[in-house]
């Protein structure tokens, strides 16, 4: 593989700090508060390290009154969402979430921490019911562990109870052949955690305990799919404070998303059928004069006997780009 690497240049994702800063400045000029973008590409996610990256940004900004937070994410770790909301609330008394596109799962949890959620015609939130990938989860055809949802398990049992006859066996006996009982227990525990996280986040700005309880339970139990799109009218019926996203701000956010999407494009270098290298920007956090991004940077090797890809030479990490006194400086931002 070393010989191949000498002759095949490794693809690099583009870093568009100058371009994104121009758009960020134009958005900030239209708002009466601080603007921060929080963007994940489809392979990125809300994670614990984001908390430290956001803290670095907030320390540069300082405590202010109002924050406008652009969120674009397909979800991730709900406990990280609670930590992010708590951190943002430490620095800002009024948080306005700007949602031009998808804001799913754990990202929906972050939006729940805002005083108001601004949505446009393509915006949506989702249910936040928990799915879990456990060490004992079932394996798919690529020999990878799959996530298991408590809602899916409940629906299997409910279907059995609805259609069973008097001689039918207990459904768990058959279910345990495919899903380990410890996985079912772990998913049930995670589901309780999801409700608790939503309630904790909502109490930052909703004082009516009944409203908090109802919103948390509906988001965790009432939708037929984890990916069910909750549009603005449905979000209003749910009891959330929804605003119409300013059209000019929406256009600028979509323009910013387009540049971020270019930064987050796949940059995979294939050496042969079993060796490749990935450079991909997954998460971007940005405000005026400062951008933090997480870049995946690792080799991959396909282990035939296990039918799966394994990683080698992992150099993934956070990077920081800032502008000070007219100079742009780039450095690594280490998070252990």
Q: Which residue has the higher pLDDT, 319 or 128?
A: 319
Task: Report the pLDDT value the prediction gives residue 305, as an integer from 0 to 100.
Answer: 78
Q: Which residue has the higher pLDDT, 168 or 98?
A: 98
Task: Report the pLDDT value the prediction gives residue 8, as an integer from 0 to 100.
Answer: 80
What is the Cα gyration radius of the chain? 22
Stretch among 49-63, 104-118, 202-216, 291-305 having the lowest mean pLDDT: 291-305
Task: Report the pLDDT value the prediction gives residue 187, as an integer from 0 to 100.
Answer: 65
**Complete domains list, the chain, with CATH:** 2-127+223-333 (3.90.226.10), 131-187 (no CATH)
Tell if the pTM clears 0.95, that is, is over it.
no
How much is the average pLDDT of 38-54?
Answer: 94
Task: Report the pLDDT value the prediction gives residue 1, as an integer from 0 to 100.
Answer: 47
Taking 70 as the threshold, does the pLDDT of residue 106 lie above it? yes
Q: For residue 280, what are the β-bridge partners?
A: 296
Task: Report the pLDDT value the prediction gives residue 154, as an integer from 0 to 100.
Answer: 66
pLDDT band at 214 (very low <50, low <70, confident <90, very high): very high
Stretch among 57-66, 84-93, 143-152, 290-299 having the lowest mean pLDDT: 143-152
How much is the average pLDDT of 292-300?
Answer: 90
Task: Report the pLDDT value the prediction gives residue 195, as an integer from 0 to 100.
Answer: 87
CA distances from 121 to 39, 241, 244 (A): 19, 16, 9
Task: Report the pLDDT value the prediction gives residue 133, as an integer from 0 to 100.
Answer: 63
Q: What are phi and psi of 332, to 5 degrees?
A: -80, 145
In three state form, how does the secondary structure of the chain look? CHHHHHHCCCCCCCCCHHHHHHHHHHHHHCCCCEEEEEEECCCCCECHHHHHHHHHHHHHHCCEEEEEEEEEECCECHHHHHHHHHHHHHHEEEEEEEECCEECCHHHHHHHCCCEEEECCCCEECCCCCEECCCCCCECCCCCECCEEHHHHHHHHHHHHHHCCCCCCCHHHHHCCCCCHHHHHHHHHHHHHHHHHHHHHHCCCCCCHHHHHHHHHHHHHCCCCCCCCECHHHHHHHCCCEEECCHHHHHHHHHHHHHHHHHCCCCEEEEECCEEEEEEEEEEEEECCEEEEEEEEEEEEEEHHHCEEEEECCCCEEEEEEEECCEEEEEEECCC
* Nearest CA-CA partner of 221 in 155, 281, 174: 155
pLDDT band at 151 (very low <50, low <70, confident <90, very high): low
Task: Report the pLDDT value the prediction gives residue 155, as an integer from 0 to 100.
Answer: 66
Average pLDDT of the chain to the nearest whole number: 86
Taking 60 as the threshold, does the pLDDT of residue 273 lie above it? yes
How much is the average pLDDT of 90-104?
Answer: 97
Taking 80 as the threshold, does the pLDDT of residue 208 lie above it? yes
Q: Which residue has the tokens 């994702």?
A: 13
Task: Report the pLDDT value the prediction gives residue 144, as an integer from 0 to 100.
Answer: 64
Task: Report the pLDDT value the prediction gives residue 186, as an integer from 0 to 100.
Answer: 66
Percent of the chain with pLDDT over 90: 54
Q: Which residue has the higher pLDDT, 273 or 125?
A: 125
How much is the average pLDDT of 98-109?
Answer: 96
Taking 60 as the threshold, does the pLDDT of residue 16 lie above it? yes
């Amino acid at each position: 593989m070393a010989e191949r690497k000498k002759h095949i240049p490794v693809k690099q994702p583009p870093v568009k700090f100058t371009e994104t800063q121009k758009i960020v400045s134009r958005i900030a000029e239209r708002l009466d508060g601080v603007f921060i973008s929080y963007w994940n590409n489809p392979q990125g996610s809300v994670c614990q390290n984001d908390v430290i990256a956001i803290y670095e940004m907030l320390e540069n900004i300082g405590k202010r009154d109002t924050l406008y937070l652009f969120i674009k994410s397909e979800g991730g770790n709900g406990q990280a969402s609670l930590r992010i909301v708590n951190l943002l609330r430490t620095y800002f008394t009024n948080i306005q979430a700007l949602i031009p596109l998808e804001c799913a799962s754990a990202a929906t949890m972050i939006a729940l921490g805002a005083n108001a959620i601004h949505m446009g015609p393509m915006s949506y939130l989702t249910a936040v019911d928990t799915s879990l990938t456990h060490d004992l989860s079932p394996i798919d055809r690529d020999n990878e562990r799959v996530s298991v949802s408590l809602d899916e398990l409940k629906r299997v049992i409910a279907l059995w109870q609805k259609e069973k006859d008097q001689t039918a066996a207990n459904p768990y006996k058959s279910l345990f052949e495919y899903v380990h009982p410890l996985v079912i227990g772990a998913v049930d525990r995670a589901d309780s955690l999801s409700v608790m996280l939503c309630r904790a986040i909502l109490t930052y700005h909703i004082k009516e305990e009944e409203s908090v309880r109802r919103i948390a339970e509906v988001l965790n139990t009432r939708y037929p799919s984890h990916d069910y799109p909750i549009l603005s009218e449905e979000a209003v019926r749910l009891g959330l404070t929804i605003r119409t996203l300013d059209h000019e701000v929406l256009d600028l956010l979509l323009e910013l998303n387009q540049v971020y999407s270019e930064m987050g494009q796949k940059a995979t270098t294939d050496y042969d059928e079993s060796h490749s290298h990935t450079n991909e920007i997954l998460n971007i956090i940005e405000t005026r004069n400062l951008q933090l991004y997480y870049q995946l940077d690792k080799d991959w090797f396909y282990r035939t006997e296990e039918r799966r890809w394994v990683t080698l030479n992992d150099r993934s990490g956070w990077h920081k780009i800032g502008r000070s006194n007219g100079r742009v400086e780039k450095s690594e931002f280490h998070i252990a």
